[in-house]
Chains A and B, each alone.
Chain A
Amino acid sequence: MAGAVSALFLLDIKGRVLIWRDYRGDVTAIEAERFFTKLIEKEAALYVNRSGVGMENFDCCIVKFVFKLLQGDPQSHDPVVYDNGVTYLFIQHSNIFLMTATRQNCNAASLLFFLHRTVDVFKHYFEELEEESLRDNFVVVYELLDEIMDFGYPQYTEAKILSEFIKTDAYKMEVAQRPPMAVTNAVSWRSEGVTYKKNEVFLDVVESVNILVNSNGQIIRSDVVGALKMRTYLRCDESGCSSFLDPTFLKTVIKFCLSLGNANENRILDGMPECKLGLNDRVLLEAQGRTTKGKAIDLEDIKFHQCVRLARFENDRTISFIPPDGSFDLMTYRLSTQVKPLIWVEAQVENHSKSRIEIMVKARSQFKERSTATNVEVELPVPADATNPNVRTSMGSASYAPEKDALIWKIRSFPGGKEYMLRAEFRLPSIVDEEATPERKAPIRVKFEIPYFTVSGIQVRYLKIIEKSGYQALPWVRYITMAGEYELRLI
């Protein structure tokens, strides 16, 4: 059952090795590079075949294919490939590939997850993980590769703690200003430049709604994935552990042991804040004999950050933990109860003759009036060869995005119980290629955020911070709901 990787490679988008770390000496970089460049070429060839471009332009197509990869199109090849005695497992992140090679029967789930964790570690160090940042920081990269894995066994991937003892005056790449992610929008209180002098804990309850609606308007799948994102700024009282020589290293050891969850080194843990979280979890409330009055909810499949004591949760449903410093996902949960789509979109597509297409769209908010959805974005697929858009909306603005073959309708603020309309007209070329492969039928996709609202009705009843010296700590809780994979198939 045991299995370890032979080497870890960081490759550029064309499959050339940038940096690699050999853990076992039984796989060579030449072998890996040869394998991977061939894989890329083959993928490119497939892409060429599908896009119907002739083979004579092969080089040009590789360029196109690479461009497609860079745009984040999912690669189509299985992430686990066997070649000549070696299994390669890989993931892509921006313009690099992370790949492990092994000759043994490794734990594939663990390794792929490890690669994603490695991305997180690098991102923590360099902000952006790309070819350039790896080159700029190769010394740290080598140091990290030495620490996160030993002899092919994953060892330690907590970036926060790693940065305590793999220090670097790392040159951080300057990142071009990009639109912030939806999640960061929600966390608007994270304004920069504020120094926290108080002991504070921030808790964000973020729920994303995934929904799949059939072309005949039937909801065929819906679930809610929630996450409790935590940011802690709690002082750690270090008086209990002054027997070590070097105070900075001592701190490292504390953090390190702490993250290992090591209860046996309790003398070091003296002084660490202990947290207890109370939710309106029906199982817990009923066990405590409280009346639930319909406020309690059933959480399905809860997953915890490794700081939470799982055995204790299993016993009495108490969520107790010593939080790591900084931000982390305390827990995630899932609800597969049928939810009413928060924003319902109906589209009617009419082909007038062969040269004109008319789309009528109705968007309706199906939540309570006191809530308001913000940053609503409806992506409507249109034929790839459509031209001359003519759009009218009853609210918000719509723009044609030919690179996505879609019309994007943005509504900044969408209160509950409202209905808005969009009417668009496109010209189509009158000559149609009969032989053309059918177009990919894209669904309508919707993005939105609803602050101060959760679908599940989850509530944080309390967040207790227990600490020996008894300092005051303030918990802050925020709620937000947003669209996850929200797809409505067109007829």
Chain B
Amino acid sequence: MSRNDSKYFSTTKKGEIPELKEELNSQYKDKRKDAVKKVIAAMTVGKDVSSLFTDVVNCMQTENLELKKLVYLYLINYAKSQPDLAILAVNTFVKDSQDPNPLIRALAVRTMGCIRVDKITEYLCDPLQRCLKDDDPYVRKTAAICVAKLYDINAELVEDRGFLESLKDLISDNNPMVVANAVAALAEIQENNSRPIFEISSHTLSKLLTALNECTEWGQVFILDALSRYKAADAREAENIVERVTPRLQHANCAVVLSAVKMILLQMELITSTDVVRNLCKKMAPPLVTLLSAEPEIQYVALRNINLIVQRRPTILAHEIKVFFCKYNDPIYVKMEKLEIMIKLASDRNIDQVLLEFKEYATEVDVDFVRKAVRAIGRCAIKLERAAERCISVLLELIKIKVNYVVQEAIIVIKDIFRRYPNTYESIIATLCESLDTLDEPEAKASMIWIIGEYAERIDNADELLESFLESFPEEPAQVQLQLLTATVKLFLKKPTEGPQQMIQVVLNNATVETDNPDLRDRAYIYWRLLSTDPEAAKDVVLAEKPVITDDSNQLEPSLLDELLANIATLSSVYHKPPDVFVTRVLSSAQRTEDEDYVEGSETGFSDANPANGPASPPTGRQLAPASATGAPATPPSVAPLPDLLGDLMGMDNSIVPVDQPATPSGPPLHILLPASTGQGLQISAQLTRQDGQIFYSLLFENNSQVTLDGFMIQFNKNTFGLAAAGPLQVPQLQPGTSARTHLPMVTFQNMSQGPPSSLLQVAVKNNQQPVWYFNDKFSLHVFFTEDGRMERSSFLETWRSLPDSNEVSKDFPAIVIGSADATLERLAASNMFFIAKRKNANQDVFYFSSKLPKGVPFLIELTTVIGNPGVKCAIKSPSPEMSSLFFEAIETLLMG
């Protein structure tokens, strides 16, 4: 016998299931064991072996522990789909929970807790009760977790049977691992309950702190995390706690270290003695530094946390900036975080060294990292007044390298430096002007134009410089247009000579008559009115003194910081977001089935995400200061809060959630048909939908380009159902970085194509700025199903019989699983596929549906499946069998959800 398990994967002959069935019932033990292994192998590769349920369960009563575990594993997977048969296993479970071998007792109770079938749960209570009081700590620690499992399935049962009390008793258990698991279970139960269940008294606290010394590394994490909720009464108690937690900083497990740091930081808030605080800070520094020698993934978590810690306690790592210098082989996500912390730790003392590092990074290859390094120099200049001059000279050196993106980034930060230190560094403007031609990014261009306008009186040829931009005014993105307008007005007010006067005419004309950007137009009219009524007043307004900016953009709100610090080491501290933003706990098992109907809605979720931004860069951290004092470009209206945060979590600026999301909650997920990479920055996502008997084409336009897009039009090629737009496409002017969603009403049978039916829909979209874009969409047949498709049972049977058998077509979908019949019926009904009847055939369920295409073409549908198991067979009968392939495509997407 070969000892290689992989052989179990290899039998794929026909008739596999009956063969396995026979082997499972073999009289030889070895053969049975091999057969179970084959079953598990089949399960692993995703084959449906649920029909062997009875046969596998029959192998459960065995002395062989390995075999028993395999059968248990099978049960965990399939009990849900065979709830009635799962009862067969209960007896053995109960028996096993009393086995003399503690491993088997624990295994039984652990597995029972994983089987989320109500009928089994009832039988779990007695064994669980026994196991919670078992002599063996291994069994007790398993039972403790099992209480949390049971609570998740049936909270009432746990409370009725007094399991919570038993669990609380386990906190005083003499085995620390039991204590740790009891703490984890209680903490989880408390999390989902508003009533106080797990209150930590000072007595519990001291018991847990004792257990801390002795339990496993993971147990220590549970206990420390649970204790971080404890509020010490006074400074003395806080000091006591800290004293007992401090030794954990020496633990080899970095999670223990971080959780200990969290505890200490929380208690430190109460400690008044500055000596103690200083001493603690000193103690925490080395372990935090050591975290940076861990694996890169852990370094990343550590760095995100250190970022928070230095915001609250800057002294801890004030002298350790060198450890955050990037190594050549650090993954980019580690480098980005290190940079962020270097900025926070930069001080007058270490700035020279830090600048040398930044300069080194600015010549690296990764563009995002280089940009961030350049920005970092600017942020240091703004933060440290005395170092500003050195920062500027480094920036000027970088500009001289003439790497395009470095220059642009440098100009953006220099503009901020000017705002921070007015009338100090303007002498460098001449150098900046040399790179004028190379600028092609809107932000850099806008910054440069702002500088020219602001310092027009010091730049001899300011008018020439601005004029060079004016030629391309209509093509510029809105951000640049706005700056150009303001700068020209400033220039005119400062130098009211002939040249500027002509320029202002051109600009105002361009910005009012020839634009349909309301922001630009409004601003231009205001300037116009001001200039024409009272030039002196205009001066007061436009050239007013601007408030000096400060470097506070990278600091989190104190209250948010508090919350995040209480969540050190957790995901919340990695994302820099409070937990309720991303925790999506599914509460009851009833909801769970629906949750499995995963909707594909987040295609852009990461396709656009820039690793540089990280999943969690706080939105406020990106810009340093408003682009201009005289009114920055209007920020896009705020987006619905939750989706935006989620979007931001993914580090994407172009959330798929549109600005004006329609009120209909079931807005379908749209497919990207024209990716931004093909559409010169314009991204179009669309989907055909049906609402209240009317077909709509839902479209989402996202403008990622640098220019404002307007004048959208749409055209459809001939297609099977003759779909065409019922009216003109209504898309407002799209500013760069904004998006718009629209519902285009559609009509059918307008421009029919000949030839075999096809789900292809060819679409052309044009706008005033770009060439015509062509893209293909595939529609799903179900959008054509009419609301009057419901049939009576009798007429269904009649129609079925009246159609010749040659009109029946069927297809198998081996991968589709119908988890819940009700949910599926509901979903199909929502797409106008109406349920007629259901019957049982052996262990399979057979469902009948009807639906109707426009012009009264009926479809009779038969679905055969085993609920909860992969594999659906679909048979249809209709007068137009040529439509069947389209139909199968549609039903597949509908069943997939």
Chain A residues, Cβ within 8 Å of B567 = 1, 105
Q: CB of A471 within 8 A of chain B?
A: no
Whether B570 and A151, one on each chain, are in contact in the complex, defined by CB atoms closer than 8 angstroms, is no
Q: Mark B208-223, 1 if CB is under 8 A from A, else 0.
A: 0000011111100110
The CB with the most chain B CB atoms within 10 A, among A114, A221, A303, A441, is that of: A303
Known: A82-B575, A301-B290. Is A1-B226 also a contact (CB below 8 A)? yes
B327 at the interface (CB under 8 A from A): yes
Is B885 part of the contact surface with A, judged by Cβ < 8 Å? no
Of B213, B301, B603, the residue contacting A80 (CB under 8 A) is: B301
A275 adjacent to chain B (CB < 8 Å): no
A300-B286 contact in complex given A138-B44, A153-B145, A153-B181, C-beta closer than 8 Å: yes
B70: chain A residues at CB < 8 Å are 139, 142
Residues of B36-81 at the interface with A, using a CB-CB cut-off of 8 Å, are: 37, 40-41, 44, 66, 69-70, 73, 76-77
Whether B297 contacts A91 by the Cβ 8 Å rule is yes
| Beta-carbon nearest neighbor of B187 in chain A | A2
Across the interface, do A304 and B251 meet the contact criterion of CB distance under 8 Å? yes
Minimum distance in angstroms from B281 CB to a CB of chain A = 14
Min CB gap A394→B, angstroms: 27
Can you add 12 more A-B contacts, CB < 8 Å, to A109-B302, A301-B290? A22-B76, A74-B329, A76-B331, A78-B614, A87-B582, A105-B582, A154-B221, A212-B325, A221-B325, A310-B213, A332-B290, A336-B323
User: What residues on B are CB-neighbors of A439 within 8 Å?
Assistant: 365
Q: Does B271 contact A (CB under 8 A)?
A: no
* Interface presence of A75 (CB below 8 A): yes
Residues of chain A from 101 to 152 with CB closer than 8 A to chain B in the complex: 102-110, 112-116, 132, 135-139, 142-143, 146, 150-151
Contact call A135/B6, Cβ cutoff below 8 A: yes
Please determine whether A212 and B611 come into contact, CB atoms closer than 8 angstroms. no
| A19 nearest in chain B by CB position | B44
User: Smallest CB-CB separation from A442: which chain B residue?
Assistant: B328
CA distance A405 to B4 in the complex (A): 41
Tell whether A304 pairs with B252 under 8 Å between CB atoms, given A106-B571, A261-B215, A311-B213: yes
Cβ of A153: which chain B residues have Cβ within 8 Å of it? 145, 181, 184, 218, 222
Partner of B297, one of A26, A34, A79: A79
Stretch touching chain A among B477-485, B584-592, B687-695, B822-830: B584-592
User: Residue B420 at the A interface, CB < 8 A?
Assistant: no
Stretch of B161-169, B493-501, B593-601, B840-848 contacting A (4+ beta carbons < 8 Å): B593-601
Residue of B nearest to A45 (CB): B607
Chain B residue, CB-CB nearest to A208: B293
Chain B residue nearest in CB terms to A140: B5
A12–B421 alpha-carbon span in the complex (Å): 54
By beta carbon, the residue of chain B nearest A331 is B252
State whether B221 touches A334 (Cβ < 8 A): no
28 residue pairs bridging A and B, Cβ less than 8 Å apart: A3-B570, A4-B184, A24-B152, A28-B596, A74-B331, A76-B332, A78-B614, A82-B575, A82-B646, A82-B649, A83-B602, A84-B598, A84-B605, A113-B294, A132-B6, A139-B70, A155-B181, A220-B325, A245-B100, A249-B103, A261-B213, A263-B214, A265-B175, A306-B253, A334-B293, A439-B365, A440-B364, A441-B363
Chain B residues, Cβ within 8 Å of A336: 289, 323
Check A82–B252 contact: CB distance below 8 A.
no
Of chain B, the residue at the smallest CB distance from A1 is B225
B4 near A171: Cβ-Cβ < 8 Å: yes
Q: In the bound complex, what is the Cα–Cα distance between A110 and B9 (angstroms)?
A: 34
Instruction: For B323, list chain A residues within 8 Å (CB).
Output: 221, 223, 336
B190 at the interface (CB under 8 A from A): yes
Cβ-defined contact, A262 with B214, below 8 A: yes
**Which of the candidate stretches B254-262, B460-468, B874-882 sits at the interface with the other chain?**
B254-262
Q: Contacts A28-B598, A142-B73 given; indicate if A108 touches B570 (C-beta within 8 A).
A: yes
Docked complex Cα distance between A139 and B259 (Å): 35
> Binding site of B, secondary structure by majority: helix, strand, loop or mixed?
helix
Q: A139-B37, A259-B216 are in contact. Are A311 and B247 (CB under 8 A)?
A: yes
Q: How far is the CB of A34 from chain B (nearest CB, A)?
A: 7
A residues in contact with B110, CB < 8 Å: 146, 150
* B569 cross-chain contacts in A, Cβ below 8 A: 107-110
Determine if B632 is an interface residue (Cβ-Cβ < 8 Å): no
Task: Chain A residues near B298: list those with CB within 8 A.
Answer: 109, 112-113, 116
A438 sits at the interface (CB 8 A): yes
B69 contacts which of A146, A303, A441 (Cβ < 8 Å)? A146
- Which A residues, 1 to 45, have Cβ-Cβ distances below 8 Å to chain B? 1-4, 18-19, 22-26, 28, 30-31, 34, 38-39, 42, 45
In whole angstroms, how far apart are the Cα atoms of A310 and B254 in the complex? 15
Chain A, residue nearest B283 (CB): A301
| Contacting pair A151 B148 (CB below 8 A) | yes
Q: How far is the CA of A108 from the CA of B259 in the complex (A)?
A: 11
Residues of B within 8 Å of A34, CB to CB, are: 598, 600
* Measured CA separation A256–B217 after assembly (Å): 14
Residues 301-319 of A contacting B (Cβ, < 8 Å): 301-306, 309-311, 313-314
Cβ-based interface call for A77 (8 A): yes
Q: A104-B585, A150-B110 are in contact. Are A257 and B73 (CB under 8 A)?
A: no
- Interface size of B in residues (CB-CB distance below 8 Å): 135
State A151–B110 Cα separation when bound (angstroms).
9
Nearest CB on A from B3, distance (A): 4
Determine whether B113 belongs to the interface, using a CB cutoff of 8 Å to chain A. Answer: yes
CB-based contact A91/B295 at 8 Å: yes
Question: Once the chains are docked, how many angstroms separate the CA of A28 from the CA of B294?
Answer: 31
Contact call B251/A82, Cβ cutoff below 8 A? no
Question: Which among A25, A39, A78, A442 has the greatest number of chain B C-beta atoms within 10 A?
Answer: A78
Answer yes or no: B116 CB below 8 A from chain A CBs: yes
The verdict on A469 contacting chain B, using a C-beta distance below 8 Å, is no
A-B complex: 4 closest residue pairs judged by Cβ atoms: A301-B286, A110-B255, A85-B584, A2-B187
Return the contact of A303 from the options B177, B290, B295, B598 (Cβ within 8 A). B290
| A443-B328 contact in complex given A28-B596, A261-B215, C-beta closer than 8 Å | yes
Bitwise interface map of A from 435 to 455 toward B, beta carbon under 8 Å scored 1, else 0:
001111111010000000000
Contacts of A116 in B (CB 8 A): 295, 297-298
Q: How far is the CB of B355 from chain A (nearest CB, A)?
A: 12
Residues in A whose Cβ lies below 8 Å from that of B187: 1-2
Would you call A212 and B605 a contact (CB within 8 A)?
A: no
Task: Report whether A310 and B251 are in contact in the complex, using a CB–CB cutoff of 8 Å.
Answer: yes
Contacts of B253 in A (CB 8 A): 113, 306
Asked if A185 is at the interface of the complex by the 8 Å CB criterion, the answer is no
Q: Which of B41, B102, B252 has the most CB of A within 10 A?
A: B252
Given A135-B5, A171-B5, check contact A257 B137 (CB 8 Å).
yes
Which residues of B625-650 have CB atoms within 8 Å of chain A's CB atoms? 646, 649-650
CB <8 Å contact, B300 and A78: yes
Q: B214 near A260 (CB under 8 angstroms)?
A: yes
Interface check B296, CB cutoff 8 A: yes
A438, B363: Cβ atoms under 8 Å?
Answer: yes
- B615: which A residues are within 8 A, CB to CB? 78, 80-82
Give every chain B residue within 8 A of A25 (Cβ-Cβ).
116, 589, 592
Per the 8 Å Cβ criterion, residues 427-473 of B in contact with A are none
Question: What is the distance, in angstroms, from A223's C-beta to the closest C-beta of chain B?
Answer: 8
Cα of A135 to Cα of B246 in the assembled complex, Å? 44
User: CB of B681 within 8 A of chain A?
Assistant: no
Which A residues touch B698, using CB under 8 A?
Answer: none
Contact of B301 among A108, A151, A154, A256 (CB under 8 A): A108
B415 beta carbon closer than 8 Å to chain A: no
The verdict on B722 contacting chain A, using a C-beta distance below 8 Å, is: no
B463 CB to closest chain A CB (Å) equals 34
Q: Which of B103, B116, B302 has the most CB of A within 10 A?
A: B103
Any A CB within 8 A of the CB of B403: yes
| A249: chain B residues within 8 A (beta carbon) | 101, 103
- A76 and B100 CA atoms in complex are apart in Å by 51
- Measured CA separation A218–B96 after assembly (Å): 68
Question: Is the CB of B322 closer than 8 A to any CB of chain A?
Answer: yes
Give the chain B neighbours of A3 by CB distance below 8 A.
570-571
CA distance A2 to B286 in the complex (A): 27
How long is the Cα–Cα vector from A26 to B609 in the complex, in angstroms? 25
